[in-house]
Amino acid sequence: MCSCSSMDDMENWPEIEKAATGKRRELVLQGQAVDERISSNGGLCPAIYSLTLLNYLEVSQCPSLTEIHEDIQHLTNLTSLILCRNKLASVPNVVGHLKSLKVLDLSANNLSVLPEGITELKELTTLNVSCNNLEFLPEGLSKCTKLSYINISKNRITDFPSDFYSERLDLLSTLVAYDNSIEKLSGDVLKLAAIKVLDLSNNKLSDIPFALSDCAKLKEINFKGNKLNDKRLEKMVNGCQTKSILDYLRAKGRQGDDGGDADKGRNADKGKRQQRKKKVADEQDEVEELNKMVVRVLHFSDAPAALTVKVSAEVKDVRPYLVCCLVRGMNLKSGNALKRFLVAQTKLHDDLCDRRTIATIATHDVQLLKAPLTYDVKPPTELKIASLGRKEMTAVELIRHIQLEADELRKQKKRQNVTGLHKYLQILKGKALYPCLVDGEGHVISFPPITNSEKTKIRKTTKELFLEVTSATSLQTCKDVMDALIAKMAELNKFTAEHKEEAGSDGEGDGPQEPAAGCEGSGELIVQQVRTVDQDGNLKVVYPSKTDLSNEIGNLTVIW
């Protein structure tokens, strides 16, 4: 506990005082200045635990923060608790009293064990405990039945809790567990009915259960870096081709069923079985050839960033987190390359970004950007944007149009649920100011989490992209999503490079294929850093940094 014990002592903690007097719902403490106060005072000011109106609390990037006091239990209105990139050695068990908590981020600390109280968080949807020293997860995690996203990567975990493979976790769509020591994935994984993304790369698995192919919603898997007994499967895994892997597992599982039938006296159709084996072998040969053709996919430029984004102070109360970067060499011209990229972005929005509630991605054509860029906020009546496929209008008018379109669609389709932008409007509900990215001419080119602008829309002719990820959850969330986006781009670019001849004759009339600056022909991407700075020019974050885009991303070679 630190020495300040009354409101009078909060003069050294203006953020806490401002939150108290203004009855604020959100508080963010991060960076060197906060860390120095924590160090000199022996911890956080106790007055922080009296801010019972808070529903969002973040204390991050403070190496001097080694513990959280049990008084945290008084903040019962918290829905998001972000304590990432500190040096926490423990978290009090009373965290389980925060019954409204939906997002808990304890990543990048020194935790060796998690409090059992976490299992009492019945509203929890997002749990990030990556980059710690955990050897196991608490039993009873299946009681958190609303969990949809779990990240336990970069720990020392050897197995999942006994109750983990449970029908109770029927909303769990993303499980990220790379860089651990997990030795077994149970066939009961199929009980996780909603699982879409599964990353168990760089563990100690020797087998992958056939039952994995029965996970109906599974779209992305990564088992690279595991020494599998089935060497053919191991080669396929290193190719990161989800469909081929699942087809192979399904075929192997059927072979096992054939064997059982034979034991019961029924003759298996040997000719069909041999055809299945040949098909699987052919698929594996194709994957191996793909892997040989493109080895280097990603480069990092040591040159200074071509773009800097200035972040206004006001965004911290609306949507505070932003990371950006530049990408060259993405081939969007060949065949259906652009369509595949847009579909992949939509899937990331639905899965990893949890329908944009956790984070939002926007992409822009660099040639159409007018620097300098500013990440700012505007009242709904003043924010004007020419959103994709529409004329310029204010945010109020845009939202009204989207709502009317949704209502009309409901009448036509005679159903309650509709797709499209309408489903994201709830994220802005109650906001007095809206976040936006503004270019050097004063045009709004991005309005997260709703849309970006027709002005900077990417097309088949786009040769350089400006990528943007924003979030109200945490900076690490932005980085995780950006990592996943670039990894997917690398995978798609590789696919496009391997099918170039087919794409060039698809009849779409694109004409001769012109390689983008750098390396479009080989599928190689070049990623260049973009810095975000505050209004005084002080660095807030740079992406990618040395700790981003690490080796777990398939088919990437990082060159600094």
What is the DSSP code string of 444-498? EEEETTTEEBGGG---TT--EEEEEEEESS-HHHHHHHHHHHHHHHHHHHHHHHH
Query: Residue type for 51, please?
Result: L
Cα–Cα distances in angstroms (integers) from residue 92 to residues 66, 101, 143, in the given order: 12, 15, 19
State the alpha helices, DSSP H only, in 11-97: 14-21, 32-41
Percent of the chain with pLDDT over 90: 41
Q: Indicate if the pLDDT at residue 170 is higher than 60.
A: yes
Highest mean pLDDT among 214-228, 278-292, 523-537: 214-228
Instruction: Please compute the mean of the pLDDT values over residues 397-420 and round it to a whole number.
Output: 70
Instruction: Provide the pLDDT confidence category of residue 387 given band limits of 50, 70 and 90.
Output: confident
Q: What is the mean pLDDT of the chain?
A: 81
Q: Are 346 and 463 in contact (CB under 8 A)?
A: no
DSSP 116: G
Highest mean pLDDT among 20-34, 166-180, 283-297, 528-542: 166-180
Cα–Cα distances in angstroms (integers) from residue 315 to residues 202, 321, 371, 396, 438, in the given order: 37, 8, 20, 19, 13
User: Could you tell me how many residues make up the chain?
Assistant: 560
Q: Are 56 and 80 in contact (CB under 8 A)?
A: yes
Q: How many CB atoms lie within 10 A of CB 220?
A: 20
Instruction: Provide the pLDDT confidence category of residue 529 given band limits of 50, 70 and 90.
Output: confident
Distance CA 470, CA 482 (A): 10
pTM higher than the cut 0.75: no
DSSP 139: T
Q: Which of 6-10, 16-20, 353-357, 441-445 is the least confident region?
A: 6-10
Query: Would you identify the CATH topology of the domain 298-390+432-543?
Result: Phenylalanyl-tRNA Synthetase; Chain B, domain 3 (3.50.40)
Cα–Cα distances in angstroms (integers) from residue 202 to residues 74, 102, 360, 484, 549, in the given order: 40, 29, 28, 16, 15
194's CB contacts (< 8 A; 6+ apart) are 148, 170, 171, 172, 173, 217
389's CB contacts (< 8 A; 6+ apart) are 454
How far separated are the first and last CA of the chain, in Å rounded? Answer: 42
Query: Residue type for 99, please?
Result: K
Distance CA 415, CA 421 (A): 17
What is the DSSP code string of 342-393? HHHHHHHHHTTTTTTTS-EEEEEEGGG--SPEEEEEE-TTT-EE-BTTS--E
Distance CA 520, CA 465 (A): 13
> Residues 208, 213, 219, 220: what is their CA dihedral angle, to the nearest 10 degrees?
10
Query: Residue type for 45, please?
Result: C
Query: Residue type for 336, please?
Result: N
Distance CA 417, CA 415 (A): 6
What token pair was written down for 24? 């604020």
For residue 101, the model assigns a pLDDT of: 94
Distance CA 182, CA 100 (A): 31
For residue 67, the model assigns a pLDDT of: 93
Instruction: Please compute the mean of the pLDDT values over residues 207-215 and round it to a whole number.
Output: 91
Q: Indicate if the pLDDT at residue 541 is higher than 70.
A: yes
Sheet holding 220-222, edge to edge: 26-30, 56-60, 80-82, 103-105, 126-128, 149-151, 174-176, 197-199, 220-222
Q: Indicate if the pLDDT at residue 534 is higher than 80.
A: yes
Percent of the chain with pLDDT over 70: 79
Instruction: Provide the pLDDT confidence category of residue 548 given band limits of 50, 70 and 90.
Output: confident
More confident site: 214 or 514: 214
What is the DSSP code string of 193-217? TT--EEE--SS--S---GGGGG-TT
For residue 362, the model assigns a pLDDT of: 94
Distance CA 373, CA 396 (A): 23
